[in-house]
């Protein structure tokens, strides 16, 4: 029996420190202040959902919905506010959050880097700084040393592909670059960060006799040609698919920075760096190549979310199937969700996507868990507070949380699936 056969199904919600905790000082808070025009509703993350203080009541909400898993991130800028200086009190806070999870029968899934950086690091080049893998590993080691006795599931980096593209190619996010060479460099650096952190997590856990399962959270967004009869569309979709969806996974499989990001250089710790595969999935897109470059649009014929993403649960199922067929790693859905303020789409979205997970499991694919993004409406990066992913709406003045009808849908399905042990029959 493989180790993952014994894992009771985890179902819960995901969030990230910057989006919910409130009152942070990091590269993003500086960006929000200096570039108000870059945020759709000109909001600042500010107090966010004040989850830093209200985590217990929010964990009560999650537990009341039969959630038994909570993915959240540790904020690097709290833990290492000055270079090389670890704040033990900050780690103590996260220990309390994890203890509060455990008291409620909720499995913590802990992310070490979810898009934000301490200001000192941003000032010296952010993820492009040559020693960032070392700095990240040092911070990761401090987190595991402080929390590894009560955390089993670790996520090193959230969505390296999204971060590289949004920050260095499209320039929506700090440091707002529009540079292909820097995007390439960012991909390579994020692979090195993931590798270095994985080594650190495993090392500290092994020295202490703790169990640690490590992955990064991979955003999978399949691209298909807008016109499958046009070779240019086919080629554009295939190359985007390779870089965005496959490159990082192949780097972890081979241990090398493969073209076009590298020339096959080996990265210490990268090969075999995944104990499981964290998958974030929201949508797929169509690609049309024009003289001005690739036009990327939502797939036609599907309902659209508040942020114009096509909803297709069958695509989600095919992502799970092909990830398992290609990598043979147990899968943890670290994010899946829908922006839908009026809650017209969310109940069916949850039904359909969780049924896809059930079918995949029944067909022998070891899907270990599912984290809905997100329990609460939160700060949606350059979209500010204008997107509503929450099972609970959050009043921006009182911060009062109000369940949307879909919270009930989630609760019903989570009640059936939480803790389920489906014998995974190898395909």
Active site residues: 159
Q: Which is nearer to ligand BGC, 299 or 388 (CB)?
A: 388
Q: Is residue 333 involved in binding ligand BGC (CB under 6 A)?
A: no
Q: How far is the CB of 158 from ligand BGC (least distance, A)?
A: 5
Q: Which stretch binds ligand BGC (CB under 6 A): 157-165, 188-196, 256-264, 414-422?
A: 157-165
Q: How far is the CB of 194 from ligand BGC (least distance, A)?
A: 15
Contacts from 293-300 at CB under 8 Å and sequence distance 24+?
Answer: 294/236, 294/240, 295/226, 296/223, 296/240, 297/226, 299/224
Q: 9 near 420, Cβ under 8 Å?
A: yes
Q: How far is the CB of 290 from ligand BGC (least distance, A)?
A: 26
Q: Which is nearer to ligand BGC, 16 or 141 (CB)?
A: 16
Q: 368 near 332, Cβ under 8 Å?
A: yes
Q: Which is nearer to ligand BGC, 17 or 146 (CB)?
A: 17
Site for ligand BGC in 1-20 (CB under 6 A): 16, 19
**Per-residue DSSP letter, 386:** -
Letters for 208-247 (x = contact with ligand BGC by CB under 6 A, - = none) are -----------x----------------------------
Q: Which is nearer to ligand BGC, 144 or 217 (CB)?
A: 217
Q: Is residue 380 involved in binding ligand BGC (CB under 6 A)?
A: yes
Q: How far is the CB of 285 from ligand BGC (least distance, A)?
A: 14
Q: How far is the CB of 159 from ligand BGC (least distance, A)?
A: 5
C-beta neighbour count of 97 within 10 angstroms: 22
Angle at 407 between CA 405 and CA 412, to 5 degrees: 110
Cα-based distances in Å from 186 to 122, 177, 280 = 13, 11, 19
Q: How far is the CB of 244 from ligand BGC (least distance, A)?
A: 12
Q: Is residue 335 involved in binding ligand BGC (CB under 6 A)?
A: yes
Total of chain residues touching ligand BGC, rule CB under 6 A: 11
Maximal CA-CA distance, the chain: 59
Tokens 């913590």 belong to 108
Q: Which stretch binds ligand BGC (CB under 6 A): 128-136, 158-166, 192-200, 251-259?
A: 158-166
Alpha helices, H only, 218-274: 231-240, 247-254
Site for ligand BGC in 16-45 (CB under 6 A): 16, 19
Beta-strand ranges (E) seen in 273-320 are 277-281, 285-290, 293-298
Q: How far is the CB of 373 from ligand BGC (least distance, A)?
A: 5
Q: 16 near 158, Cβ under 8 Å?
A: yes
Q: Is residue 280 involved in binding ligand BGC (CB under 6 A)?
A: yes
Letters for 54-73 (x = contact with ligand BGC by CB under 6 A, - = none) are --------------------
Q: 373 near 16, Cβ under 8 Å?
A: no
Tokens 């069916």 belong to 348
Question: Site for ligand BGC (CB under 6 A): which residue of 173, 373, 392, 410?
Answer: 373
Q: Which is nearer to ligand BGC, 273 or 334 (CB)?
A: 334
Nearest to 44 by CA among 396, 390, 399, 338: 396
Q: Which stretch binds ligand BGC (CB under 6 A): 46-54, 154-162, 348-356, 363-371?
A: 154-162
In the chain, the N- to C-terminal Cα span, in Å, equals 14
Nearest to 29 by CA among 174, 135, 172, 134: 174
374 cis-preceded (ω within 30 degrees of 0): yes
Q: Which residues bind ligand BGC (CB under 6 A)?
A: 16, 19, 158-159, 162, 219, 280, 335, 373, 380, 389
């Amino acid at each position: 029996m493989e180790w993952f056969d014994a894992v009771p199904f985890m179902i819960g919600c995901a969030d990230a420190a910057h989006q919910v905790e409130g009152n942070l000082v990091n590269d993003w808070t500086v960006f929000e202040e200096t570039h108000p025009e870059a945020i759709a509703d000109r909001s600042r993350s500010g107090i966010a959902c004040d989850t830093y203080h209200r985590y217990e009541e929010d964990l009560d909400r999650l537990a009341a919905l039969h959630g038994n898993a909570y993915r959240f991130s540790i904020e690097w800028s709290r833990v290492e506010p000055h270079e090389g200086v670890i704040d033990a009190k900050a780690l103590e806070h996260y220990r309390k959050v994890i203890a509060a999870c455990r008291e409620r029968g909720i499995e913590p899934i802990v992310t070490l880097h979810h898009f934000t950086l301490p200001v000192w690091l941003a000032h010296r080049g952010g993820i492009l700084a040559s020693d960032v893998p070392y700095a990240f590993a040092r911070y990761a080691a401090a987190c595991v040393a402080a929390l590894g006795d009560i955390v089993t599931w670790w996520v090193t980096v959230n969505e390296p592909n999204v971060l590289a593209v949004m920050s260095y190619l499209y320039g929506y996010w700090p440091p707002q670059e529009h540079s292909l060479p820097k995007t390439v460099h960012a991909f390579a650096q994020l692979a090195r960060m993931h590798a270095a952190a994985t080594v650190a997590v495993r090392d500290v856990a092994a020295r202490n006799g703790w169990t640690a399962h490590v992955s990064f959270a991979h955003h999978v967004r399949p691209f298909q040609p807008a016109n499958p009869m046009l070779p240019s569309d086919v080629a554009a979709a295939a190359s985007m698919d390779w870089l965005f969806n496959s490159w990082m996974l192949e780097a972890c499989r081979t241990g090398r920075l493969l073209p076009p990001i590298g020339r096959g250089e080996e990265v210490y710790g990268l090969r075999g760096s995944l104990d499981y595969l964290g998958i974030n999935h929201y949508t797929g897109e169509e690609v049309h190549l024009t003289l001005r470059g690739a036009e990327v649009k939502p797939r036609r014929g599907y309902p659209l979310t508040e942020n114009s993403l096509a909803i297709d649960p069958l695509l989600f199922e095919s992502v799970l199937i092909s990830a398992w067929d290609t990598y043979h790693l147990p899968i943890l859905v670290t994010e899946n969700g829908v922006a839908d303020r009026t809650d017209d789409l969310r109940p069916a979205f949850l039904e359909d996507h969780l049924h896809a997970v059930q079918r995949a499991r029944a067909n022998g694919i070891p899907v270990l868990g599912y984290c809905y993004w997100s329990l609460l409406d939160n700060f949606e990066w350059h979209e500010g507070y204008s997107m509503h992913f929450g099972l609970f709406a959050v009043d921006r003045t009182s911060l009062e949380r109000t369940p949307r009808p879909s919270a009930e849908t989630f609760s019903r399905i989570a009640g059936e699936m939480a803790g389920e042990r489906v014998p995974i029959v190898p395909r």
